[in-house]
């Protein structure tokens, strides 16, 4: 399978996860209170975090590829996006573990 097909498919999968996850997140955090701290909720929040990071940064990468035509600048922006995504993922995992 080509890389683009995988990215397209995974973007759709993470979109579905985000839609379901956001609905569940709003319901549990705003109606039941933030008391859900069990292992299943931690796993849910971890998957939700990874889906949001992948979905958002893959979208930004697609926009960047469309509007930046210089291959050198694309590589620079891609590196910045990857470093930023990894940093935000690390921060998110740290916050979830506290």
Mind listing the pLDDT tens digit for each residue in 65-95? Answer: 999 999 999 999 999 999 999 999 999 999 9
Structural domains of the chain, ranges and CATH numbers in brackets: 3-97 (1.20.1300.10)
CB 14 within 8 A of CB 54: yes
| pLDDT bucket at 30, cuts 50 / 70 / 90 | confident
What's the CA gap between 82 and 96, in Å, rounded? 21
| pLDDT bucket at 4, cuts 50 / 70 / 90 | confident
Phi, psi of 32 (to 5 degrees): -100, -10
1 or 93: whose pLDDT is higher?
93
- State pTM to two decimals: 0.83
């Amino acid at each position: 399978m080509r890389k683009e097909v995988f990215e397209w498919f995974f973007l759709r999968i993470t979109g579905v996860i985000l839609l379901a996850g956001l609905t569940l997140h709003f319901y549990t955090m705003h109606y039941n209170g933030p008391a859900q701290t069990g292992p299943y909720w931690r796993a849910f929040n971890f998957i939700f975090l990874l889906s949001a990071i992948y979905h958002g940064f893959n979208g930004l990468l697609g926009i960047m590829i469309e509007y930046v035509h210089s291959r050198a600048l694309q590589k620079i922006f891609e590196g910045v996006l990857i470093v930023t995504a990894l940093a935000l993922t690390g921060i998110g995992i740290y916050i979830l573990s506290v």
